[in-house]
A and B are shown apart, each in its own frame.
Chain A
Amino acid sequence: MRFRRASLAALCCAATICCGASLAEAQAALPSLTSQRAATPFSVDFTAEGIDAATWAQDSPTLTQLGLSLAGGLEYTTPISVPIRLEVGYIGVSTSSIASDGELYRAWDGARFALLMGYTFAPLSLEGLGKLKMSLLAGGALTAAEYTHTALAYAYPSIVLEPRALLALNGIFGADSGPYLTLPVELMFRAGNHTLAPGLGLGFRYRIIGSN
């Protein structure tokens, strides 16, 4: 019981921050659930993410911008635990805070397309609950955007680093399906300025099952 409580706490309190060191010792204590049908290497997911971004430019202040991202993903996992992920979504970021000289950064919103690759680590067993699967993804994104409430269109590239922890619950959804927590960091290169956007996302992944 104590172990279960500790496992849940580790998940809820940004499991990825706490369990990195313990992951090396993790043993798959429970056998994974087997499905009557074979799982394909493909999975789909949906993520909602809050963003707390910082934008800066040369000779301009660093100012915060809050945002929201909604994304759908299609992931292919290779036999060597290397996921390749295609992500399509919406991003909306608010007007920044205002500097004392009256300068600020505009809000923007747009469609974001990302391609990520990474590694899925050996699962950490959560006794009686399921498995915690950690992944680390990295890649690039392209965003077609508008400055919110204007007629101005623009586009920008970005690089992404994305740790994620998926909780595969025993007996529910299947072995590689379940809710996950993600802590992506994105560095955007926007019209000569930079935006560093760490986020906290929650999502659900479903491993596609093939037919018999």
Chain B
Amino acid sequence: MRKMNTWLLNLGLAAFVLAASIASTACTQNASSITSKRYALVYGVSIYNNDKGEGESFPITVDGVNYTSKNLTYSDNDAVDMTNLVTQQGWTVYSRVWGGNGDSTSATPPTKSQMVNDLADIATKADADSTVMIYFSGHGDVESGTSYIIPYEGIYPTTGTSALELANCVSPANLSSMLSILPTKNIIVIFDTCYSGGFVDSGSAIDSSPSSYASMQSYSAFSTAMEKFGSLLVANASASGSKTPIVLSAAGSNEYSYDGSGNGVFTGYLLDAATNGDSDSDGYVTMTEAYAYTAKKIKSWDEANSYSVYPFLPHLSGGTRDLVLFTD
């Protein structure tokens, strides 16, 4: 019996020593810098109807019904500021901005077809370790339960009475198809549009923040985990660990996002996160840190503006992985 005791004990000790050595030797240390190539596609559209200036309304038909839409005021600023920031941080940037006041940064407008072309070009240059970011600021819509971002010509024609042209808009399925040509798993998607939460896949997790925060109800990820323990375990068992893009949206799938002061509310805080969002002070602002910072700031903004606008919250896709977004 004593020999058996010794054998069992030694087995346990050997398992621990083996595990400890794996943990201590097989691990990569903190990277002193990001050495892989980084590509950013930065699109912003303020002017959808060329007859009108920034912030001005114009008639639009959607499914034969007449509505009023308007050009945005700060989406072009968002894209210009994001372009400047990520360029400073060493990204190779494909910037297409369509706005008033001379803010357009490219002769080629930020259309869906141009997005396809730019991603195809990035695909020829990127490798398996590259990071690719797709940033868009502009209008978004939801039709038949599907979210869309609306690039230039998504509201078409661009003069007179326009119509929503879904073929020129980008749905989650369109985006997934576009991204499939990239040779890397390190893909960041950031959308500052209404209804952009429809692009966020929580995977085997549950996003406890509501798709419509209009009632400003409280929520808790931990409470959700306890309440839905069984279904989360089932979802975890079927998770493949697939390398889906890490998506950060300005708003939920049933929420508006808003122009703020100088930038969109969300993008303003996102840009601010580059300098103030490094919560662990390691010199890097990850997508999770950027989410945490913008969510905290927008909650405060919601509370301050709850009587004049519908509250909204950013959303973040699920999964164990994260990516560095900004460096300090």
Contact = CB atoms under 8 A, between A and B. Distances in A.
B278 to A, nearest CB: 11
Contact of B236 (A64, A97, A99, A154): A154
Contact of A57 (B13, B241, B279): B241
Interface in A67-106: 94-95, 97-106
Contact of B8 (A95, A119, A157): A119
Contacts of A183: 13, 16
B121 interface: no
Contacts of B233: 142, 155-157
Interface in A46-61: 52-61
B222 interface: yes
Contacts of A136: 8-9, 11-12
B3 A24 contact: yes
Contacts, number: 245
A16 B9 contact: yes
Interface stretch (A172-180, A186-194, A203-211): A186-194
A44 interface: no
A184 to B, nearest CB: 8
A28 interface: no
Interface in A7-64: 16-17, 20-21, 23-25, 52-64
Contact of B222 (A103, A144, A161): A144
Given A191-B204, A192-B239, A102 B229 contact: no
B271 to A, nearest CB: 19
Interface of B is mostly: mixed
A152 B10 contact: no
Interface residues of B, number: 79
Given A106-B322, A136-B8, A147 B205 contact: yes
A95 B11 CA distance: 31
Nearest to B21: A198
A41 B158 CA distance: 80
Given A16-B9, A101-B36, A149 B279 contact: yes
Contacts of A99: 28, 31
A17 B13 contact: yes
Sort chain A's interface into a size bin.
Answer: 35 or more
A24 B6 CA distance: 6
Contacts of A105: 320-322
Interface stretch (B95-103, B165-173, B288-296): B288-296
Contacts of B203: 191
Interface string B233-252: 10111011111000000000
Contacts of B323: 102-104
A146 B220 CA distance: 9
Interface centre among A94, A102, A197 (most CB of B within 10 A): A102
Contacts of A52: 20, 23-24
Interface string A134-150: 10100000101111111
25 contacts: A20-B9, A61-B28, A95-B286, A97-B30, A100-B33, A100-B35, A102-B323, A122-B5, A142-B229, A146-B225, A147-B205, A148-B288, A149-B279, A149-B288, A150-B316, A151-B209, A152-B221, A153-B222, A155-B236, A163-B12, A163-B13, A191-B319, A193-B320, A196-B19, A196-B23
Interface of B: 2-3, 5-6, 8-13, 15-17, 19-20, 22-24, 26-31, 33-36, 38, 129-131, 185-186, 202-209, 219, 221-222, 224-226, 228-229, 232-233, 235-237, 239-243, 279-280, 282, 284, 286, 288-289, 291-292, 295, 315-316, 318-324
Given A24-B5, A110-B222, A155-B236, 8 more contacts: A24-B3, A61-B28, A103-B321, A103-B324, A105-B320, A136-B8, A153-B222, A192-B242
The list of the 7 closest CB pairs from A to B, nearest first, reads A192-B241, A146-B221, A155-B232, A153-B225, A102-B324, A151-B209, A144-B225
